[in-house]
Structure 1
Amino acid sequence: MLLELKVVDNNGNIKTSKKGESAVNLVWTEEYREGDRIVIIAQEKNRYLHIQVDDALGAAFVYVTKNEIIYQIPFGEARLSLSPKAFSGNGHLISVREAMEGEVRNYRNLALNVMDQHGDTGCYPHASANVETRGEAVFAAKNAIDGVTENHSHGIWPYTSWGINRREDAEFKLEFGRDVIIDKICLYTRADFPHDSWWEMVTLTFSEGSEINWELEKSDKAHILELNGKKAEWLLLHKLKQADDPSPFPALSQLEVYGREA
Structure 2
Amino acid sequence: MELTLKIVDADGFVLASATGQDETFLVYRQSYREGEQVIVEVSRPGHVFLALDSAIQPSLVYMKQCSYALAVPFGDKRKSYSPNAFSGDIHRLSVRCARPEEIAHRRNLALNPWDDHANRALFPHARANVETRGEAVFAARNAIDGEKANDDHGFWPYTSWGINRDPQAALTVEFGRPVRVDEIVFYLRADFPHDSWWEEVSVTFSSGKTSRFPLVKSGAAQGFSIEPCIIEWIELHGLIKAEDISPFPALTQIEIWGTDVAGAATLGVEDEFGRAPLSLTL
TM over 0.5: yes
The alpha carbon displacement at 1:257 in A equals 1.1
TM normalised by structure 2 equals 0.91
The alpha carbon displacement at 1:119 in A equals 2.9
Alignment of 1:233-244 (within 5 A): 233-244=232-243
Please state whether the residue corresponding to 2:34 is helix, strand or coil.
Answer: coil
Matched, 1:65 2:64: yes
Please state whether the residue corresponding to 1:239 is helix, strand or coil.
Answer: strand
Amino acid of the residue matched to residue 26 of structure 2? L
The alpha carbon displacement at 1:76 in A equals 1.1
Alignment RMSD: 0.9
TM normalised by structure 1 equals 0.98
Distance 2:243 2:66 in 1: 48
Alignment of 1:43-58 (within 5 A): 43-45=43-45, 47-58=46-57
Please state whether the residue corresponding to 1:30 is helix, strand or coil.
Answer: coil
Name the residue aligned to 2:14.
Answer: 14
Matched, 1:149 2:158: no
Name the residue aligned to 2:73.
Answer: 74
Name the residue aligned to 2:24.
Answer: 24
- The total of aligned residue pairs comes to 261
Alignment of 1:20-169 (within 5 A): 20-45=20-45, 47-169=46-168
Structure 1: runs of 5+ lacking an equivalent: none
Name the residue aligned to 2:278.
Answer: none
Amino acid of the residue matched to residue 248 of structure 2? F
Alignment of 1:173-192 (within 5 A): 173-192=172-191
The alpha carbon displacement at 1:228 in A equals 4.1
Distance 1:18 1:151 in 2: 38
Q: Deviations over 1:208-246 (max 9, x none)?
A: 000101111111111111014222110000010111010
Amino acid of the residue matched to residue 179 of structure 2? V
**Residues 70, 121 of structure 1: 8 Å contact kept:** no
**Residues 154, 192 of structure 1: 8 Å contact kept:** yes
Structure 2: runs of 5+ lacking an equivalent: 262-282
Query: Mean Cα displacement is larger for which, 248-257 or 51-60?
Result: 51-60
Query: Mean Cα displacement is larger for which, 136-145 or 220-229?
Result: 220-229
Q: Which runs of 4+ in 1 moved over 6 A?
A: none
